[in-house]
């Protein structure tokens, strides 16, 4: 922690004397200096008279709502981190508090171990009494998003988000703002836009930057293993469980859990995830006890979750839980002015990995790239540059666009294109197949191959185009033995 517990001052606001005393004693044992108030008026009088490091307030008070105190603190640009305790419609109130700017929330009855952890996080984020000492009376404090207030690695994480276009500046500013609270973040954007880089930047800019960052691809886990992977499992809880194992929630304790492709989670797992987020506790498969977990949730998706909610494919309550704060990552076509800088950064990294000097990208090639559709976003651009560096002969760098585009077949009556193959025709009725399943498999295979070619063998983009989940397209690719470029040499199916 940046300052010792003894130097940190906490204000506890609760109208129930017994609970107020319990919270006071718990904090005093931790070494904090504690003041208490039983109403909104008393709390504000305390705040007017001195500065605190953290304020813990009940949601419902005799003379108003705890959110009123929070709104007033934000309006006066108070530096204290506010923790809201709620037992009244906890899910809705907690989300409302986080959106209003609360650092975190606790659900009554409060678990004292979790209580101590959340308060310690809030104190650590403000920097304790040292932060108050640095601000002289009457001098405006610098915004918390200033570089001096961020963790050491935060600037490096933000620099990885290459680009200085207005849309990218907005993304970076939003990251700096949202990083300092515990509010769940939903990162939205097309495939290949860099959603995981945004999630890592949120983690790096937060007070949890020293903790673990655990990234999980929700679409890549078999449905039967989801619960064990997320929450852990006890020895013997399922076939093959030879020892106790931690889940992702336990592995991310004290840090950030990044749930990529959250929209691909089955509904049954969505309800279990919702409970884990609400209760801040998980139960390992085969266990009778719950473990308290202190993690911040950042999720990402290329899907329209609001539309999935209306279609019954995604739980509405989980959607509102995850989407407290949204960061929208722009596609590359909407920030083409960033392409020169982005190409340079990618070429530098690719060249370093290859152990060769960084090639120079000519203005002509740069102009070609700006005119290219780049539907695969940064991932497609990186693919193009990787290939260009691999074929680089030491002279001028050349970018070969052909492999990312679907080859156009010449008109041939004996070999029609898959898209033009008629299932029925008035002039030439299609003969009934001897093997219907083989015929349908061939039709499906041609459609999948075409979609994969057009997306540069980006399976996520191909799945999105065909209205499939990543899990579904992977199953079909394996079943139909469709090979990706380079797989033939290794004998592995895509």
Query: In three state form, how does the secondary structure of the chain look?
Result: CCCCHHHCEEEEECCCHHHHHHHHHHHHHCCCEEEEECCHHHHHHHHHHCCCCEEEEECEECCEEHHHHHHHHHHCCCCCEEEEEECCCHHHHHHHHHHHCCCEEEECCCCHHHHHHHHHHHHHHHCHHHHHHCCCCCCCCCCCCCHHHCCCCHHHHHHCCCCCCHHHHHHHHHHHHHCCCCCCEEEECCCCCCHHHHHHHHHHCCCCCCCCEEEEEHHHCCHHHHHHHHHCECCCCCCCCCCCECCHHHHCCCCEEEEECHHHCCHHHHHHHHHHHHHCEEECECCCCEEECCCEEEEEECCCHHHHHHCCCCCHHHHHHHCCEEEECCCHHHCHHHHHHHHHHHHHHHHHHHCCCCCCCCHHHHHHHHHCCCCCHHHHHHHHHHHHHHCCCCCCCCCCCHHHCCCCCCCCCCCCCHHHCCCCCCCCCCCCCCCHHHHHHHHHHHHHHHHHHHCCCCHHHHHHHHCCCHHHHHHHHHHCCCCCCCHHHHCCCC
Minimal CA–CA distance to 460: which of 447, 449, 473, 444?
A: 473
> Are the CB atoms for 482 and 445 separated by under 8 Å?
yes
pLDDT the model gives residue 221: 92
Least confident of 144-158, 259-273, 406-420: 406-420
pLDDT the model gives residue 323: 92
Contacts 24+ apart (CB under 8 A), 308-316: 308/263, 313/263, 313/267, 314/263, 314/267, 314/270, 315/267, 315/270, 315/271, 315/274
pLDDT the model gives residue 27: 93
Q: Find where tokens 């994969």 sit.
A: 452
Position 392 pLDDT exceeds 60: yes
pLDDT tier at 363 (50, 70, 90 boundaries)?
Answer: confident
Rounded to the nearest integer, the mean pLDDT of the chain is 83
pLDDT tier at 429 (50, 70, 90 boundaries)?
Answer: low
Least confident of 85-94, 102-111, 285-294, 320-329: 85-94
Query: How many other CB atoms are found less than 10 A from the CB of residue 311?
Result: 9
Q: Find where tokens 């002015």 sit.
A: 337
Minimal CA–CA distance to 161: which of 208, 207, 193?
A: 193
Residues in contact with 381: Cβ distance below 8 Å, sequence separation at least 6, in sequence order: 332, 339, 342, 343, 346, 369, 374
Side-chain half-sphere CA neighbours of 122 within 13 A: 29
- Alpha-carbon Rg of the chain, whole angstroms? 27
Q: How far apart are CA 399 and CA 3, in angstroms?
A: 54
Region 363-385: mean pLDDT is 89
Position 47 pLDDT exceeds 90: yes
What percentage of the chain has pLDDT greater than the value 70? Answer: 84
Region 473-493: mean pLDDT is 67
pLDDT the model gives residue 300: 97
Going from the C-alpha of 313 to that of each of 229, 263, 297, 303, 409, the distances in angstroms are: 22, 8, 21, 11, 38
Least confident of 123-137, 191-205, 300-314: 123-137
pLDDT the model gives residue 308: 93
> Are the CB atoms for 20 and 38 separated by under 8 Å?
yes
pLDDT the model gives residue 182: 86
Stated pTM of the model: 0.69
Minimal CA–CA distance to 83: which of 58, 60, 62?
A: 58
Position 322 pLDDT exceeds 80: yes
Higher-pLDDT residue of 327, 90? 327
pLDDT, tens digit, 9 for 90 and up, residues 197-235: 999 999 999 989 999 999 999 999 999 899 999 999 999
Residues in contact with 348: Cβ distance below 8 Å, sequence separation at least 6, in sequence order: 358
């Amino acid at each position: 922690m940046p300052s010792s517990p003894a130097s940190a001052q906490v204000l506890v606001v609760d109208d129930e004397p017994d609970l107020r005393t319990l919270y006071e004693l718990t904090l005093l044992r931790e070494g904090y200096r504690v003041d208490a108030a039983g109403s909104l008026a008393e709390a504000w009088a305390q705040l007017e008279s001195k500065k605190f490091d953290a304020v813990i307030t009940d949601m419902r008070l005799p003379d108003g709502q705890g959110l009123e105190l929070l709104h007033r603190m934000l309006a006066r640009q108070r530096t204290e981190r506010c923790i809201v305790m709620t037992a009244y419609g906890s899910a809705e109130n907690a989300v409302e508090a986080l959106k209003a700017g609360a650092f975190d929330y606790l659900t009554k009855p409060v678990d004292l171990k979790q209580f101590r952890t959340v308060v310690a996080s809030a104190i650590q984020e403000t920097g304790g009494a040292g932060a108050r000492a640095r601000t002289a009376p009457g001098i405006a404090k610098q915004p918390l998003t200033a570089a001096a207030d961020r963790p050491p690695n935060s600037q490096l994480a933000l620099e990885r988000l290459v680009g200085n276009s207005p849309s990218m500046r907005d993304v970076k500013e939003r990251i700096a703002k949202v990083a300092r609270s515990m509010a769940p973040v939903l990162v939205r954007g097309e495939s290949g836009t860099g959603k995981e880089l945004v999630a890592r930047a949120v983690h790096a800019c937060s007070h949890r930057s020293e903790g673990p960052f655990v990234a999980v691809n929700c679409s890549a886990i078999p449905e039967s293993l989801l619960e064990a992977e997320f929450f852990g499992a006890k020895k013997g809880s399922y076939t093959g469980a030879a020892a106790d194992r931690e889940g992702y929630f336990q592995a991310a304790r004290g840090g950030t859990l990044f749930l990529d492709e959250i929209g691909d989670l089955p509904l049954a797992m969505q309800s279990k995830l919702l409970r884990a987020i609400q209760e801040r506790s998980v139960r390992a498969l085969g266990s009778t006890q719950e473990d308290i977990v202190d993690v911040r949730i950042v999720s990402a998706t290329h899907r329209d979750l609001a539309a999935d909610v209306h279609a019954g494919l995604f739980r509405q309550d989980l959607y509102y839980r995850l989407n407290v704060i949204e960061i929208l990552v722009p596609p590359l076509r909407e920030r083409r002015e960033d392409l020169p800088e982005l190409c340079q950064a990618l070429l530098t990294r690719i060249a370093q990995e290859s152990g060769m000097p960084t090639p120079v990208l000519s203005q002509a090639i740069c102009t070609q790239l700006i005119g290219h559709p780049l539907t695969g976003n940064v991932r497609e651009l990186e693919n193009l540059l990787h290939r260009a560096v691999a074929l680089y002969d030491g002279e001028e760098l050349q970018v070969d666009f052909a492999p990312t585009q679907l080859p156009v077949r010449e008109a041939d009556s004996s070999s029609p294109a898959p898209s033009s193959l008629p299932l029925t025709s008035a002039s030439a009725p299609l003969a009934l197949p001897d093997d219907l399943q083989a015929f349908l498999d061939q039709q499906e295979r041609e459609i999948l191959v075409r979609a994969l070619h057009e997306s540069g063998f980006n399976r996520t983009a191909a799945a999105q185009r065909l209205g499939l989940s990543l899990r579904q397209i992977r199953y079909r690719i394996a079943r139909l033995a469709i090979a990706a470029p380079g797989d033939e040499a290794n004998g592995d199916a895509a």
